[in-house]
Amino acid sequence: MNKPSILVLSFSDLDRDPRVNRQVRTLAEKFSVTFAGFGTGKDLAVRFIELNFFPNSVIYKIKKAIQLIFRCEERFYWAQPPVRSALEKLKGERFDLIVANDIDSLPLALKLANESPVYFDAHEYHPREFEDRLSWRIFQQPYKKYLCAQYLKNASVMTTVCQGIAEEYQKKYRVDVDVVLNVPDYQEISPSVIEGGKIRLVHHGAAISSRNLEEMIDMFEFLDDRFSLDFMLVPSDARYFADLKKRAERYPEIRFIDPVPMTKIVESINCYDLGVYILPPTSFNNEYALPNKLFEFIQARLGVAIGPSPEMARIVKEQNIGVVATSFSAKDLAHALNGTSLEDIKVMKNNAAKSAKIFCFDQNTKKILCLVEKALGL
């Protein structure tokens, strides 16, 4: 008997997008999977179809702005190079199920599906994704709202990254939404030993200005001398990355180290004591963020130090794996850290080791396959 065929669509790099990468890997274990998007897919046993990338020319950006400002949503959407190349390269093919990642791939998935079901993984809350940026609110927000209002109701199954975002989609668009967390694979490792009474902090991720990473630098004005911090950053914004390095020059306790591939993050940060992250609620998605890095901290058997982000704080408090500052200021997080003893941190790391079995991708595998089988009617 032939395996059901599944097409996974994502306008992201399969080699760099951990959520989509794990999704594809999971589906490939039971189904015949084709992935259409960017990257190479070289590490996954699936059929790979590379789509044309978004142009970066000034002319394209001007044309895009004009179409969006005059609310030509459909004309703009179907003229995008990734969409056009997908329609061309997948013409005449039929799949038993199509998985669409992010709102930008959903209309395409529904068109290609014909009468087959569509599993939509929204990831974030798209109508308010970058609402802290004026240009995004002017050009992109009406477009994202249009796509959600027009197409969400046609998906057979829908998921997102946390409960707060799921509830907002349910409230605004009256759709049923399940939660699939951004958790890494389980790894059998032990918490590292705290050495010499010194507490080693780490933060990894992308250097993006809206994340206000400078707060983690500024807290060294208030921290006691037990603490050091290593940044492992991908320089997504080269100018911002350079500004961070310059800002940190006055604190010898802060280093910038080279990033590692996403599959190596957990083992690379296992030698630290606490993962640290302050994410001010500058947008709806930042307010309800439940990012990969929190679960990578846990999987690496680290304690966690964060601001009062509700989704992250709930897990940190329930599992007793870290400290939650009273605000998103550098001073308040430093105060929370200064109040921790070495014994407190040892307990946090041991509790993270217990939580690692709960917040790992094994749990997601079961949920994703259950949702796919539900959509397929199996």
Q: Could you please report the per-residue DSSP string of 94-132?
A: --SEEEEESGGGHHHHHHHHTTS-EEEE--S-GGGTTTT
| 371 contacts 157 by C-beta, under 8 angstroms | yes
Give the model confidence (pLDDT) of 130-174 as tens digits.
Answer: 999 999 999 999 999 999 999 999 999 999 999 999 999 999 999
Domains assigned to the chain: 5-183+360-376 (3.40.50.2000), 199-355 (3.40.50.2000)
Q: How many CA atoms lie within 13 A of 8 on its CB side?
A: 28
| Amino acid, single-letter form, for residue 266 | V
Supply the pLDDT for residue 45: 86
- CA distances in angstroms from 162 to 46, 100, 290, listed in the order given: 28, 18, 6
> Which tokens is 290 given?
């439940």
pLDDT in tens, 70-121: 999 999 999 999 999 999 999 999 999 999 999 999 999 999 999 999 999 9
Mean pLDDT on 291-313: 98
| CA 168 remoteness from chain centre | 18
- Strand, helix or coil for residue 277: strand
In the predicted structure, residue 1 carries a pLDDT above the cut 80: no
The type of residue at 342 is: L
Give the pairing type, strands 32-38 and 227-234: unpaired
Phi-psi region of 71 (alpha: psi -120 to 50; beta: other; left: phi over 0): left
| Bridge pairing between strands 178-179 and 199-206 | unpaired
The helix (run of H) or strand (run of E) holding residue 73 is helix 73-79
pLDDT above 90: percentage of residues in the chain: 93
What's the pLDDT tens digit per position in 34-71?
999 999 888 788 999 999 999 989 999 999 999 999 99
Question: Distance from first CA to last CA of the chain, Å, rounded?
Answer: 14
Predicted TM-score (pTM) of the model is 0.93
